[in-house]
Amino acid sequence: MRIVAGSRKGHRIEAPKGVVTRPTGDRVREAVFSIVGSLDGARVLDLFAGSGALGLEALSRGAAKAVFVERDGRACRVIEQNVSKLGLGAVATVVRGDALRALRDSADDDRRHDLVLVDAPYDEWERLEASLSELLPAVLADDGLVVVETSARVEPSLPLDLVTTRRYGSARITVFSR
């Protein structure tokens, strides 16, 4: 995989080996950030980060800070390696832990994010949707966006304004705003 655009365009990034992580492909990442637009100075929260590809792409495109939340230790190590390789250690934080707990902590600390990336395992969306619906609005900045990647068969619903939903092969990208 490669970073698609921005200051780190063309740099290769690694993905964790095995079937636990499903990295977002280049075409889908390009589509996501085309929809999102400018990220200059944005605070990004990358939940279920996997390889970190979405958050790394956001940093390459001008985001000021990104927090990567991933529960799998191997995936966290790969994200840390990618962050180091790209020279983004000063603006990236990797948190090994549960995404819902990270959202609760962020809400408790009154931390807001301009962009929240949610790429949960496809088979877990139904179980997570109610909790995400409760927690995401509390951590989203006033003009913030939430980008959700699900299976193309799933149409996620959150208590936010729907911006767009688009299918890309087996994936669906749905964007919400406050």
Q: Is residue 20 part of a domain?
A: no
Residue-wise pLDDT tens digits, 97-136: 999 999 999 999 999 999 999 999 999 999 999 999 999 9
Residue 151 pLDDT: 93
Residue-wise pLDDT tens digits, 12-27: 988 887 645 566 777 8
Q: What domain count does the chain have?
A: 1
Residue 23 pLDDT: 65
Q: Is residue 67 part of a domain?
A: yes
Average pLDDT, the chain: 93
Residue 53 pLDDT: 92
What is the mean predicted confidence (pLDDT) over 149-173?
A: 95
Q: Is residue 146 part of a domain?
A: yes
Residue-wise pLDDT tens digits, 25-37: 778 888 999 999 9
Range of the domain at 52: 26-160+167-177
Q: Is residue 11 part of a domain?
A: no
Question: What SS3 string covers the chain?
Answer: CECCCCCCCCCECCCCCCCCCCCCCHHHHHHHHHHHCCCCCCEEEEECCCCCHHHHHHHHCCCCEEEEEECCHHHHHHHHHHHHHCCCCCCEEEEECCHHHHHHHHHHCCCCEEEEEECCCHHHHHHHHHHHHHHHHHHEEEEEEEEEEEECCCCCCCCCEEEEEEEECCEEEEEEEC
Residue 28 pLDDT: 84
Q: Is residue 12 part of a domain?
A: no
**What CATH number did the domain enclosing 130 receive?**
3.40.50.150
pTM: 0.93
Q: Is residue 86 part of a domain?
A: yes
Q: Is residue 9 part of a domain?
A: no
